[in-house]
Structure 1
Amino acid sequence: MWRWAPSRKAPPSRSRPSPLWNEDDDHHARATALFNAIQAGDLPYRPLYTTGYVLAELVTLGLARANHTLAATALRRIRASPSVTVLHPDEPMFAAVCNEFYRYDDQDISLVDHATSVLADERDVEHVFTFDPDDFRTLGFTVVPDDTGEA
């Protein structure tokens, strides 16, 4: 499962829409190298999924913290990529997302991250690519690259 998001640990002035799309992000080179290796089949994390919610979050952050051009470019590339499948929960799946959100009432895990988790579980996905690892570890995922050691 592919999760494009800034680190919540970064101060708002440094938090960027995505390390993959923002060349000024501290994680850009690493994110780009990993994504290219995954696309080339050099790393085993296929197929690649993301969610419509993650794309909405990416575009919203891109507009707020960068500009329309960056947000639109990222959205176009992801939607056009033959390597990435964008998932959308149906009504029963959305109910499962909401139930997971309610269940983790002692955590501040976003609804977007719960949607990613539920949709990933539905597809037996075990790895989530993110530079914001804590919530996905809490949800039981192995985080790429932090938990897997890829450069």
Structure 2
Amino acid sequence: MTGSQEAARRRARTRLLQKYLINPPSKLLTTLGLLRGHIILETTGRRSGKRRRTVLGAQRAGSVLWVVAEQGRHAGYVRNLISQPRVRVRVDGRWHDARATVLDQDDVDARLASFEDQKHVAMVRRFGTSLLTVSIELDGH
């Protein structure tokens, strides 16, 4: 099996684990404002045009939220925000309009080192196959 085939298998296993086991309770806790260091990102489906919500670990620095996408450009929310960078994000129990940008040249290791939640960082490193930094700049902050 080639490296790319193994990475695709890992992505598929991770997607199932997150979709059915990790994300449902995480989304509820984040919506209630009980899961620190996490946000809900709402993108517009690139094909369907429907709202898509994803819970993500994030590090806030002023008006910018930093996210490291575990699956890089393979992640649906990353493909959606590339197509439509205007997003909404739920932070600390409130929705904010924002603009998301993929940063291909960002040093992912340095970015992860800046995150306060080291448990989240360990999970990103364990399950990630092609790490990629995304910045989300909140409007009006």
Task: State the TM bucket, normalised to the shorter chain.
Answer: 0.3 to 0.5
TM-score relative to the length of structure 1: 0.36
Q: Which structure dedicates a bigger proportion of its chain to strand? A: 2
